[in-house]
Amino acid sequence: MAIDLEIPKKFQPLVEQAHTVAVEVLRPISRKYDLAEHEYPKELDMLAALIDGMGEGGAGSGAGAAGASQAKSPGDDGGNRNGSNMASILSITEMCWGDVGLLLTLPRQGLGNSAIAAVADDDQKKRFAGKWAAMAITEPEAGSDSAAIRTTAVLDGDEYVLNGEKIYVTSGERAELVVVWASLDREVGRAAIKSFVVERSNPGLKLDRLEHKLGIRASDTAAFILDDCRVPKEDLLGSPEIDTKKGFAGVMRTFDNTRPLVAAMALGVGRACLEYTRDALAEAGIEVDYDRPSNVQSAAAAELIELESDFEAARLLTMEAAWMADNSKPNSLHASYAKAKAGRTSVDIALRCIALCGAAGLGEDELLEKWARDAKILDIFEGTQQIQLLIIARQLLGLTSAELK
Q: What is the pLDDT of residues 311-370, one digit of tens each?
A: 999 999 999 999 999 999 999 999 999 999 999 999 999 999 999 999 888 888 899 999
Classify domain 247-397 at the CATH superfamily level.
Butyryl-CoA Dehydrogenase, subunit A, domain 3 (1.20.140.10)
Nearest-5° Cα angle at 276, 275 to 281: 100
Distance CA 91, CA 103 (A): 10
196: which strand partners?
A: 180, 236
Residue 56: pLDDT band by 50, 70, 90 thresholds? low
Q: Does domain 132-237 match CATH 2.40.110.10?
A: yes
Q: Which residue has the higher pLDDT, 58 or 206?
A: 206
Kindly list the domain boundaries of the chain, sorted by start residue: 9-126, 132-237, 247-397
Q: Phi first, then psi: give them for residue 27, nearest 5 degrees.
A: -55, -45
How far CA 54 is from CA of 14, 19, 106, in Å, comes to 10, 15, 15
pLDDT exceeding 70 applies to what percent of the chain? 90
CB atoms inside a 10 Å sphere around CB 156: 11
Active-site positions read 382
Q: Which pLDDT belongs to residue 64? A: 56
Residue 5: pLDDT band by 50, 70, 90 thresholds? low
Q: Which pLDDT belongs to residue 252? A: 72
Q: Which pLDDT belongs to residue 76? A: 44
Q: Which pLDDT belongs to residue 108? A: 87
Residue 65: pLDDT band by 50, 70, 90 thresholds? low
Q: What is the pLDDT of residues 298-315, one digit of tens each?
A: 999 999 999 999 999 999
Average pLDDT in the chain: 90
Classify domain 9-126 at the CATH superfamily level.
Acyl-CoA dehydrogenase/oxidase, N-terminal domain (1.10.540.10)
Nearest-5° Cα angle at 382, 377 to 384: 65
Q: What is the pLDDT of residues 150-204, one digit of tens each?
A: 999 999 999 999 999 999 999 999 999 999 999 999 998 888 999 999 999 999 9
Kindly write down the DSSP assignment for every residue of 75-112, as one continuous string: -TTSS----HHHHHHHHHHHHHHH-HHHHHTSTT-SHH
Cβ atoms of residues 221 and 168 within 8 Å: yes
Q: Which pLDDT belongs to residue 250? A: 59
Same fold, 9-126 and 132-237: no
Distance CA 291, CA 332 (A): 37
Least confident segment among 22-26, 61-65, 203-207: 61-65
How far CA 145 is from CA of 19, 149, 190, 358, 396, in Å, comes to 36, 8, 10, 38, 20
